[in-house]
Structure 1
Amino acid sequence: MAPALPRRVLLQAALLAPAAPAPALAASGRAAAAPLPPAARPLRPFELGEVTLGEGIFAAKRELMLEYGRGYDVDRLLQVFRANAGLSTRGAVAPGGWEGLDGEANGNLRGHFTGHFLTMLAQAYGSTGEQVFADRIRYMVGALAEVRAALRQEPAVLSVAGRFGTAAENVRGAYQYVDLPPAVLGGAPELTLAAWVRPTHHGDWARVLDFGDDTTRYLYLAARDADGVPRFALTTSGPAGEQGLNGTAALPPDEWSHLAVTLAGGTGTLYVNGTAVARNPAMTLGPADLGTPAHAWLGRSHFAADPVFAGAFDAFDAWSRALTADEVASLQGAPAAGSAAGRGDLASYSFGETTGSAFADASGRGLTATLRRTWGGPSHPGFLAAYPETQFIELESMTSGDYHRVWAPYYTAHKILKGLLDAYVCTDDDRALDLASGLCDWMYARLSKLPAATRQRMWGIFSSGEFGGIVEAVVDLHTLTGRPEHLALARLFDLDRLIDACAADTDVLDGLHANQHIPIFTGLVRLYDATGESRYLTAARNFWGMVVPHRMYGIGGTSSTEFWRARGSIAGTIDETTAESCCAYNMLKLSRMLFLHERDPEYMDYYERALFNQVLGSKQDRADAEKPLVTYFIGLTPGHVRDYTPKQGTTCCEGTGMESATKYQDSVYFRAADDSALYVNLYSPSTVTWEGKGVTVTQTTDFPREQGTTLTVETAGGRTASFALRLRVPSWATDGFRVTVNGRRAGGTPVPGSYLTVSRTWRAGDEVRVDAPFRLRVEKAPDDPSLQALFYGPVNLVGRDARTDHLRVGLYRNAALSGDLLPTLAPVPGEPLHFTLDGVEFAPFHEGTEDPTHAYVRRYEPEVVFGGTASGVANPAKSDGTTLLDEIWAGAPFAGRGALVARVRSAVAAWVSAGLLSRADGQRVVATARRASYTD
């Protein structure tokens, strides 16, 4: 059992309390009138630590993720934050994929994965109480606090060992450079520039130095040009007019190299490590032609697209003459001051400083240099990110999406904010709340100053304007701080045209980016909780109904290539990029929230479907120390093989996948607000501790490998406890669902898609047995009924076959009188939930293997067959694709053979009358139905 978590309890109480919310701020900054509070939600969830998972498929999947969480080097996650702040990255290498500067769109989403990881750790600690998770959280929170403090200050030198003494390092991702006074060239007609550098990254066009006015008048020395070699150039007419010198070999990374350039008498020479590698005797331009440049930079280019130099400077010197080859060579073995060349008379920096942001000039000219950030600084109060504020600023003027410029900065802010909130409520670390609150203060300071029209435009921009579940997280923060500006901030993300359309039940989803919009509605439910505005809840409810079932694949997933298509388009949208995993995560969250409000069993039917299929199936069934092994998309095309390491392993879906795998138990049980009832929503081996009633309830089951569960009630001190036990009757449980209490049949009639209530005074040791027999059934794609998914109870069965066309499957041949199609399949001995049909194995979707799978099959029933007996009659079909066998078996279940034969006779008569079947063939069909053998 996890330790008491008072902050989590506080947040839980605040989330559910029906008290009036704090007033929102009006546009003027004054408090607006508070709306009436919403009605109290009828249901309450349990904390993760109050529900313990027993042995089973969920616990096994979770353990794989817990092991990853225990061992992954969190300094790697912090690398991008520390780099952005100019702090030491402690030698850590950023994760691949979206979390590094080399990831997609130059890593413009970096930092999001760290937020997910914090949430995963918090959930792991809340579930298990293992100290390792709390320790890792506190370490990460402390590091992020140091990052924010550094961002609020001028950049400070990062001192490292140099070529001769101490050097100044510019960490990749720090956006730092050295700003020299513009007078550095001094108008000298001749010039020598020399520097010791240690590049740490192969960044094409990263400048060692760039002195000039703009992209027209400049001279530069690049550590690496497009061909990978050093280059010096001088121009007064832009790139086309450059007069240059090119090296012959790339500078080795992580090693010290000496670069020098001399200009005199129309000749330029480039030296690398004391050796002349290029000479140009036809240079008509000299440094004096630039005059006094507007800027003199080390490490920064006048071309905005060029990277900042990543590496270290040990020395930079400038002379007002051309050094001889011997003098350049003498710089290899000693600092300039001890060489034949002597210190530069125009400028001389040794970079021996160990603190501050200023570098002393030893030339005698007093040209003190300053360490700066390309994006300015310090940052505004509260800002915390793994990249500069520039993404947020640029978004405000964008009219269309371009994730290479701006990639969802508020989405990333949400992940960080949520991770900090989860860290706070599970560890009581006040630093986490301070960071979260400060981040929201910073966002409010920006967004509250923008015109409403600007915000509406921003939030409607694909990808760049995506903000994830930030509204939900901000409202959660408000429940902790009570500060009105935090609730006001949550409302600044309202995307009115979407909210209004959904509130009016107008389906506008076609063409929208799915996961950009699903978490908007989880935020709206939380806004309803905080404000009582019914528009928010109505919009969320109606939106859910536009997705389920109209845009839902059999496994519970939604979206195709991340987007929604027309309502009812399922077969027509199946491809390699269906069912983005983040969408399932957020649809589960929304379903849970809506059920807590409305108690509609349809939400839990969906929850079970998506959880037991897509969510479980998106996690690979093996351990990995470096990757969470979670799918991005689950392709539903024939023969698809799941990719558990998409885009190098740090996508949004792997982030939500980490979270899903550490909160499997969060919706197994709910309780009534007045503690009068316990809802059992999912059948899963687990124990819930209901402290308010002094009761524990344990489910003992191997569900779904077992078709039912046993619940045992224990009471504190042997006392009794009165409450209603509400047991979910899944919509698929159409035959044989049965409940007994201490061996005696419980009252009430189970209705599929509802809850069966058992009310009594419970005593220690009372035992409730739930039997929920599975049947094999099909679910048809609405736009192509012949394309079908197979389900056995809640479990989607997928064919394992490498073929890339749809498997053709016939299921009626041995159908039972109950309508169960399972007798047509053969069970695999020793492999629960595994079957074979026509040489193809069918297995649960939730098994995280790399087998090629068929989640949809093509239904093919060419001949009328009953009980394995063939009639010799082709199975006719109507124009809509409905076959004779479809119409016959639509009448199941049948009380006996006679009832089936009567159905066959009636259907045959109608089809003969319609001219769809000959009288002779109809007689053969009826005769076959009479003589065939059937199972019940």
Structure 2
Amino acid sequence: MKYSFIFCFCTLLLSHVAEAQMQLFDLKEVRLKEGPFKNAQDVDLKYILELNPDRLLAPYLITSGIPVKAERYGNWESIGLDGHIAGHYLSALAMMYASTGNMEVKNRLDYMISELEKCQQKNGNGYVGGIPQGKVFWDRIHNGDIDGSNFGLNNTWVPLYNIHKLFAGLTDTYHYTGNEKAKEVLIKLGDWFIELIRPLSDEQIQNILKTEHGGISESFADLYIITKDKKYLETAEKVSHLAILNPLEKKEDKLTGLHANTQIPKVIGFEKIGVLSGNKDMTDAAQFFWENVTQKRSVAFGGNSFAEHFNPTEDFSGMLKSNQGPETCNSYNMERLSKALFLDKNKVSYLDFYERTLYNHILSSQHPGKGGFVYFTPIRPNHYRVYSKPETSMWCCVGSGLENHSKYGELIYSHAENDVFVNLFIPSVLDWKEKNIYIEQSTKFPYQNSTDLVLKLKKSETFSMNIRCPEWAENFEISINGKIQKTEAKPSSYIMLNRKWKSGDQIRVTFKTSTHLENLPDGSNWSAFVNGPIVLAAKTSNKDLDGLFADDSRMGHIAAGKYYPLDQAYTFIGEKADYLSRLKELGNLHFRLDSLELEPFFEVHDTRYQMYFQNYSKEQFKEKHDLLIRQEIEARALEAKTIDKINCGEQQSEADHLYKGEKSNFGYEDGKFWRNTSSYISYQLLNKNKLGNFLDITVLEELKMDNISILINEKPAQIVAAENKVIRLNINKMEVVNIKIIAKNLINSPMFYQLRIVND
């Protein structure tokens, strides 16, 4: 997506904003009215209340030696990431209570904080967490015994990422509800962490930060905001990952191949630390990152990455072919970064991206009827998405999903001193008690291109109402009490309405939208229909929706059903403009295009769909389409004989297969991930129904078998062949395949690219 950086205010407003920084309203000051966002909030509330606090707390009680009141949840909550959902749950409860005033939510939140306090008191050193074998793990770190990899730190699954969720949950609890007990637990936890890393050198700390660690730096910046104690800001700076910060400060793009959501929370931390410390290099680095991701790496609905990693900016073909499209957690964090930069830089353009992503990714990532959160949103034509269930699914995107739909009121409005800014056209009520200003917004946008605002005041007041003119809006017009105002509406700007307002004054905003085709950022011949900020897609089939609502399997979040061939997707032949002209409006943002019906993507659920369409000239079609057919036949043939596979060095693929290792490096070269070791690496693959006969190991460089040994289920592997950079092992009649590759004499192994169980 491309977003212009026009920031055009009237002269009076320019000087006014320079004097007063933009600020958010508290969530409790905004209430949603009926509409898609209110429905999403209500569905989220139901899901939140279906979760059992005692089961979420169980990992913390186990670690503290306190008898559990209920068994912990399964799935990710019992295979290494134990306790991470509880941190998200605190945040979701806090924001949902602020957004709704629901007392059951508040009671649950207070209960969880009390239980966490008991765990902390039992531990006796300020620590509270659910990380398995936490005492042993943290003692090793404190003593400088550190072996960091992209998601494994001393063979523990992202422990700092895990504990960051608790830091964030405690912070949000205090911020949104004023819970003093949460503040006390948070400060003690922060002091424990400072003591934990006190003996470590800067180099050792940076080694720890190689492993995904969430927004741990932001958490200490938040502690500084709460306490004003500089030791927390100093710690925030100390745990900022320089391998990411330094290139960004130099305006260098080193993101390709990196695990995407690992990086975004770091950048949120850079932005916050930069603001608090006055370090402009850090805030500029955050802005550079945002521009790079939103303009070069994001697709039409706002998401980025595939299989959780940033793809090359010049090649989105991997995303188009994958069932693991943009991850919802990425957009959750990009929304947080956009909000922070908007408040810091006072640039309306950040709202254009925020709005696009809010409607098309965040809103669409929850099932609007049954509830359940989406992990991956594929852009592969004719594929589908999978939804979580409260009892079975404990993925990261469940945690962030619980939060996403609890805070829709955060940026509908903002203010600077006495002035109000209307940022989003969402039916809602703003009750600014401090200034005795009450505003009700009524709108059916995006189904109707207008919004109405009615002011209720205790007495007449002079202030500015500032209405955002989005970059997509056409013929933008404002009337007050039925009288059209003479305004100059420019894209990505505010229109300032400064006057003495009286109770009952009405503002009506009208505009037009048009449908256009938006290309992928790599310039390839794939494009999506977009009307205003709304991405349109077509439902294509409700067949073969395997695992639509996920079970409790390790990879249940992936839509692993049948791939429909790309060459059978709907394709444009000729001029794209012809297809735009053929759209027939059906009402409510639905359009007929030949056999397809396009509709807002956030309405598309329980189905396969097509969002991106390939375009050929008449001259290109046969040659290019025939090539695509051949590629699809080859890809289907390989997948048909594949029982299980691991992409080495690719974070989720390795985590899904229980990676462990020591003295191991990973990287990305020529579009392929890899991992090597000078000690060992191990994985677990599943040979379903014992259908596979061989395990093929592919390397990216010269194959030297003398430097490695391979064990299968703790026995020497039976090597069938080792040639052409492929090692073939016999796994006949094995259902669970535990493979361990050992480097001999501390010599680096080859770079392993892929492990694949095949049936021939």
Other-structure match for 1:338:
none
Q: Does 1:561 align with 2:307?
A: yes
Q: Does 1:727 align with 2:706?
A: no
Q: Does 1:115 align with 2:87?
A: yes
Contact 1:82–1:386 under 8 Å retained in 2 = no
Opposite residue 724 of structure 1, the aligned amino acid is S
Aligned-pair distance for 1:416? Answer: 0.6
Q: Does 1:577 align with 2:319?
A: no
Identity between Structure 1 and Structure 2 (%): 29
Other-structure match for 2:545:
none
Q: Does 1:808 align with 2:571?
A: yes
TM-score (norm 1): 0.59
Aligned-pair distance for 1:822? Answer: 5.8
State how far apart, in whole Å, the 2-side matches of 1:394 and 1:835 are. Answer: 60
Among candidates 357, 372, 375, match of residue 632 of structure 1:
375
Q: Which aligned segments of 4 or more residues in structure 1 are displaced greater than 4 angstroms? A: 393-396, 810-815, 874-877
Opposite residue 501 of structure 1, the aligned amino acid is P
State how far apart, in whole Å, the 2-side matches of 1:398 and 1:441 are. Answer: 24
Contact 1:742–1:766 under 8 Å retained in 2 = yes
Opposite residue 453 of structure 2, the aligned amino acid is L
Structure 1 stretch displaced more, 526-535 or 411-420: 526-535
Opposite residue 94 of structure 1, the aligned amino acid is R
Cα gap change, 1:511/1:763 in structure 2, threshold over 3 Å: closer, same or farther? same
Q: Does 1:83 align with 2:62?
A: yes
TM-score (norm 2): 0.72
Q: Does 1:452 align with 2:202?
A: yes
Among candidates 108, 111, 114, match of residue 136 of structure 1:
108
Cα gap change, 1:759/1:639 in structure 2, threshold over 3 Å: closer, same or farther? same
Contact 1:443–1:489 under 8 Å retained in 2 = no
Other-structure match for 2:181:
431
Other-structure match for 2:35:
56
Structure 1 stretch displaced more, 428-437 or 382-391: 382-391
Q: Deviations over 1:867-913 (max 9, x none)?
A: xxxxxxx8999x9xxxxxxxxxxxxxxxxxxxxxxxxxxxxxxxxxx
Q: Deviations over 1:530-578 (max 9, x none)?
A: 2111121111111111111100011100111111122243345332112
Q: Does 1:765 align with 2:510?
A: no
Other-structure match for 1:412:
162
Contact 2:384–2:609 under 8 Å retained in 1 = yes
Q: Map 1:474-485; keep pairs closer than 5 Å.
A: 474-485=220-231
Q: Does 1:850 align with 2:594?
A: no
State how far apart, in whole Å, the 2-side matches of 1:549 and 1:837 are. Answer: 28
Contact 1:572–1:783 under 8 Å retained in 2 = no
State how far apart, in whole Å, the 1-side matches of 2:565 and 2:437 are. Answer: 53
Other-structure match for 2:426:
684
Aligned-pair distance for 1:482? Answer: 2.4
Aligned-pair distance for 1:457? Answer: 1.9
Among candidates 150, 162, 165, match of residue 122 of structure 2:
150
Cα gap change, 1:438/1:72 in structure 2, threshold over 3 Å: closer, same or farther? same
Aligned-pair distance for 1:841? Answer: 1.9
Other-structure match for 1:841:
597
| DSSP-derived class of the 1:553 partner | coil
State how far apart, in whole Å, the 2-side matches of 1:770 and 1:811 are. Answer: 38
Q: Does 1:654 align with 2:398?
A: yes
State how far apart, in whole Å, the 2-side matches of 1:381 and 1:732 are. Answer: 51
Among candidates 492, 495, 509, match of residue 241 of structure 2:
495
Contact 1:391–1:409 under 8 Å retained in 2 = no
State how far apart, in whole Å, the 1-side matches of 2:275 and 2:427 are. Answer: 32
Q: Deviations over 1:466-523 (max 9, x none)?
A: 1212222222222222223222221221222321211121111112111111011111
How many aligned residue pairs are there?
Answer: 575
State how far apart, in whole Å, the 2-side matches of 1:849 and 1:810 are. Answer: 28
Other-structure match for 1:301:
none
Aligned-pair distance for 1:804? Answer: 4.1
The root-mean-square deviation of aligned C-alpha atoms, in Å, is: 2.5
Aligned-pair distance for 1:812? Answer: 6.5
Contact 2:82–2:131 under 8 Å retained in 1 = yes
Q: Deviations over 1:156-206 (max 9, x none)?
A: xxxxxxxxxxxxxxxxxxxxxxxxxxxxxxxxxxxxxxxxxxxxxxxxxxx
Q: Deviations over 1:337-356 (max 9, x none)?
A: xxxxxxxxxxxxxxxxxxxx
Contact 1:827–1:835 under 8 Å retained in 2 = yes
Contact 2:146–2:207 under 8 Å retained in 1 = no
Contact 1:809–1:857 under 8 Å retained in 2 = yes
| DSSP-derived class of the 1:846 partner | helix
State how far apart, in whole Å, the 1-side matches of 2:88 and 2:525 are. Answer: 40
Contact 1:52–1:687 under 8 Å retained in 2 = yes
Contact 1:78–1:114 under 8 Å retained in 2 = yes
Opposite residue 726 of structure 1, the aligned amino acid is N
Q: Map 1:368-407; keep pairs closer than 5 Å.
A: 380-387=125-132, 388-394=134-140, 396-401=145-150, 403=152, 405-407=155-157
Q: Does 1:551 align with 2:297?
A: yes
Opposite residue 502 of structure 1, the aligned amino acid is L
Other-structure match for 2:583:
825
Contact 2:151–2:158 under 8 Å retained in 1 = no
Other-structure match for 2:721:
none
Aligned-pair distance for 1:394? Answer: 4.8
The structure that is helix-richer by fraction is: 2
State how far apart, in whole Å, the 1-side matches of 2:265 and 2:214 are. Answer: 6
Q: Which has the larger radius of gyration?
A: 1
Contact 2:360–2:601 under 8 Å retained in 1 = yes
State how far apart, in whole Å, the 1-side matches of 2:130 and 2:199 are. Answer: 21
Q: Does 1:642 align with 2:379?
A: no
Consecutive unaligned residues in structure 2, runs of 5 or more: 1-17, 542-563, 625-760
Cα gap change, 1:779/1:520 in structure 2, threshold over 3 Å: closer, same or farther? same
| DSSP-derived class of the 1:475 partner | helix
State how far apart, in whole Å, the 2-side matches of 1:621 and 1:691 are. Answer: 32
Q: Does 1:602 align with 2:345?
A: no
Cα gap change, 1:728/1:494 in structure 2, threshold over 3 Å: closer, same or farther? same
Contact 2:314–2:522 under 8 Å retained in 1 = yes
Contact 1:551–1:568 under 8 Å retained in 2 = no
Q: Map 1:906-925; keep pairs closer than 5 Å.
A: none
Contact 2:452–2:509 under 8 Å retained in 1 = yes
Contact 1:713–1:766 under 8 Å retained in 2 = yes
Among candidates 330, 336, 340, match of residue 589 of structure 1:
336
Contact 2:453–2:507 under 8 Å retained in 1 = yes
Other-structure match for 1:818:
none
Cα gap change, 1:386/1:614 in structure 2, threshold over 3 Å: closer, same or farther? same
Cα gap change, 1:745/1:858 in structure 2, threshold over 3 Å: closer, same or farther? same
Opposite residue 585 of structure 2, the aligned amino acid is P
Contact 1:552–1:570 under 8 Å retained in 2 = no
Contact 1:789–1:796 under 8 Å retained in 2 = yes
State how far apart, in whole Å, the 2-side matches of 1:45 and 1:420 are. Answer: 20
Opposite residue 571 of structure 2, the aligned amino acid is R
Q: Does 1:441 align with 2:186?
A: no
Opposite residue 487 of structure 1, the aligned amino acid is L
